[in-house]
């Protein structure tokens, strides 16, 4: 693979940034420093270290994102296992009921973040409870926080509480419903508190249930929020298809690749898809992907792109451009959601996001140092990076 010819076509549009950094090297740094708060001291807990239960062979290690022996070096995401549906019908297996279901999430995880946004947009806070795990994913997978951790600066956040029945890890939920479970212990998990079963662990399907199945229990304005409206379904499905493969999963396929070829193939496809998103958001008036109507496409894309500059650029090597200086239309769309709609801002926890990725992937970042930048995590709504705002 010729790196030059492969990547250069994707580099257009970067000259202004580079030139102005060169012209104004001294003004940029102090402006950025306004946003640096405190350096967090981050403690790892004993629960994160491998226990005797862990397999001694290398084949089952949780951070083997590429299957050992797979010469392609490509990350292949597993299908989610639990695929039942909550239904508005009272005689269904999982009927929609107030207080019956619980979402187990990680505030770091984009897939789980989708479900938290939909829960708030649909006004389901009093109907579906949730709790969030510690940001660190160790050798036993996601773990719950301990009581003494909830006030720690790096850990605290909405829903970050110990498990109410004393479970220590998300994997225990999976084993409680199936002791032979062999899949990954992923979040989100939609849990039925009544039967103590996992309803579903696939975020795209949880989004759909939250959108419609509780409508008999809620009132307007929430009832009429429709994230998957009938007349847009075909277009939503089409957008989801390429955005899932190339962007939402594309950042992981770039970051987890273990060969140069697999990385380049996926990172180039990712940036081509971002170019396509940028064009769509430039050509269409917005403020949402489908104009005046907020749909699941906005939610699904947002959770990946809000993590892009803080994490994916450096940690997953998605650094052909960043959002704030390379994609003005995406940047505007994203900030409109973040600053304009509480469901987006209030479910985004940059500490969990940054600490999780940078300290949970020893194969990518063995020394676990979390980069301080970019500062700020997200720019204020009406402020641009200095090089972009300069028009002189």
Ligand X SMILES: N[C@@H](CCC(=O)N[C@@H](CS)C(=O)NCC(=O)O)C(=O)O
Alpha-helix runs per DSSP H in the chain: 3-7, 15-23, 25-33, 110-121, 171-177, 203-212, 233-243, 250-255, 260-283, 296-305, 313-315, 323-326, 328-340, 342-345, 350-360, 386-389
Q: Which stretch binds ligand X (CB under 6 A): 202-210, 229-237, 300-308, 340-348?
A: 202-210
Peptide bond into 188 cis (omega under 30): yes
Measured CA to CA, the distance from residue 229 to residue 249 in angstroms comes to 24
In this complex, which beta carbon is closest to ligand X, that of residue 127 or of residue 252? 252
Q: Which of 82, 94, 127, 185 binds ligand X (CB under 6 A)?
A: 185
- Of 83-112, binders to ligand X (CB under 6 A) are 106, 109, 111
In this complex, which beta carbon is closest to ligand X, that of residue 308 or of residue 321? 308
Q: Which of 74, 75, 80, 299 binds ligand X (CB under 6 A)?
A: 80
| Under rule CB under 6 A, residue 202 binds ligand X | yes
Q: Which of 21, 184, 197, 293 binds ligand X (CB under 6 A)?
A: 184
Examine the residue annotation and report whether 318 is marked as an active-site residue of this protein.
no
| Under rule CB under 6 A, residue 21 binds ligand X | no
In angstroms, what is the minimal distance from the CB of 170 to ligand X?
A: 8
In angstroms, what is the minimal distance from the CB of 145 to ligand X?
A: 16
**Site size for ligand X (CB under 6 A):** 15
| Under rule CB under 6 A, residue 360 binds ligand X | no
CB atoms within 10 A of CB 82: 20
User: If you write DSSP's letter for every residue of 282-351 in order, what string do you get?
Assistant: HHS--SBTBBTB--HHHHHHHHHHTTIIIIIHHHS---S--HHHH-HHHHHHHHHHHHH-HHHHTT--HH
In angstroms, what is the minimal distance from the CB of 32 to ligand X?
A: 28
Measured CA to CA, the distance from residue 388 to residue 392 in angstroms comes to 11
| Under rule CB under 6 A, residue 48 binds ligand X | no
| Under rule CB under 6 A, residue 203 binds ligand X | yes
Rounded to 5 degrees, φ, ψ at 217 are -95, -15
Report angle CA 39, 40, 41 to the nearest 5 degrees: 120
- Of 137-166, binders to ligand X (CB under 6 A) are 141
CA atoms within 13 A on the CB side of 387: 19
Which member of 109, 117, 137, 281 is catalytic? Answer: 109
Measured CA to CA, the distance from residue 124 to residue 29 in angstroms comes to 43
Q: Which of 129, 131, 140, 186 binds ligand X (CB under 6 A)?
A: 186
Residue with the two structure tokens 């405190």: 38
In angstroms, what is the minimal distance from the CB of 37 to ligand X?
A: 25
CB atoms within 10 A of CB 67: 11
Comparing CA positions, the residue from 299, 272, 273 lying closest to residue 288 is 299
Q: Which of 123, 188, 255, 326 binds ligand X (CB under 6 A)?
A: 188
What mask, x for binding ligand X by CB under 6 A, covers residues 50 to 69? ------------x-------
In angstroms, what is the minimal distance from the CB of 98 to ligand X?
A: 24
Q: Would you please indicate which residues are annotated as catalytic (active-site) residues? A: 109
By the criterion CB under 6 A, which residues form the site for ligand X?
Answer: 62, 80, 106, 109, 111, 141, 184-188, 201-204
């Amino acid at each position: 693979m010729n790196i030059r010819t492969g990547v250069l076509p994707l580099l257009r549009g970067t000259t202004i940034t580079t030139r102005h950094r060169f012209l104004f090297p001294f003004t940029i740094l102090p402006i950025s420093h306004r946003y640096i708060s405190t350096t967090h001291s981050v403690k790892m807990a004993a629960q994160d270290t491998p226990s005797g239960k862990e397999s001694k062979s290398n084949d089952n290690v949780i951070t083997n994102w590429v299957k050992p022996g797979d010469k392609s070096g490509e990350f292949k995401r597993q299908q989610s296992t639990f695929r039942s549906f909550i239904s508005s019908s009272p005689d269904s297996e999982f009927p929609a009921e107030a207080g019956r279901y619980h979402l187990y999430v990680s505030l770091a995880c984009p897939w789980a973040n989708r479900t938290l946004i939909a829960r708030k947009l649909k006004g389901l806070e009093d109907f579906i409870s949730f709790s969030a795990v510690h940001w660190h994913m160790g050798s036993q997978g996601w773990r719950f926080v301990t009581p003494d951790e909830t006030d720690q600066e790096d850990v605290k956040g909405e829903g970050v509480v110990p498990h109410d029945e004393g479970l220590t890890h998300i994997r225990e939920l999976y084993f409680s419903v199936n002791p032979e479970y062999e899949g990954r212990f992923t979040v989100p998990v939609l849990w039925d508190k009544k039967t103590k079963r996992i309803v579903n662990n696939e975020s795209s399907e949880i989004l759909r249930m939250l959108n419609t199945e509780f409508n008999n229990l809620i009132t307007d304005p929430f009832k009429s929020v429709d994230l998957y409206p009938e007349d847009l379904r075909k277009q939503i499905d089409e957008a989801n298809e390429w955005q899932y493969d190339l962007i939402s999963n594309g950042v992981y396929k770039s970051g987890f690749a273990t060969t140069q070829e697999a990385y380049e193939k996926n990172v180039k496809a990712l940036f081509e898809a971002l170019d396509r998103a940028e064009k769509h958001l430039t050509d269409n008036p917005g403020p949402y992907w489908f104009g005046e109507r907020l749909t699941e496409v906005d939610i699904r894309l947002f959770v990946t792109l809000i993590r892009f500059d803080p994490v994916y650029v450096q940690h997953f090597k998605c650094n052909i451009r960043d959002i704030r200086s390379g994609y003005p239309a995406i940047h505007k769309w994203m900030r409109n959601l973040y600053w304009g709609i509480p469901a987006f801002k209030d479910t985004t926890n940059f500490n969990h996001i940054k600490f999780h990725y940078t300290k949970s992937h020893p194969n990518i970042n063995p020394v676990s140092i979390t980069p301080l930048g970019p500062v700020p995590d997200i720019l204020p709504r009406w402020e641009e990076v200095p090089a972009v705002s300069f028009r002189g």
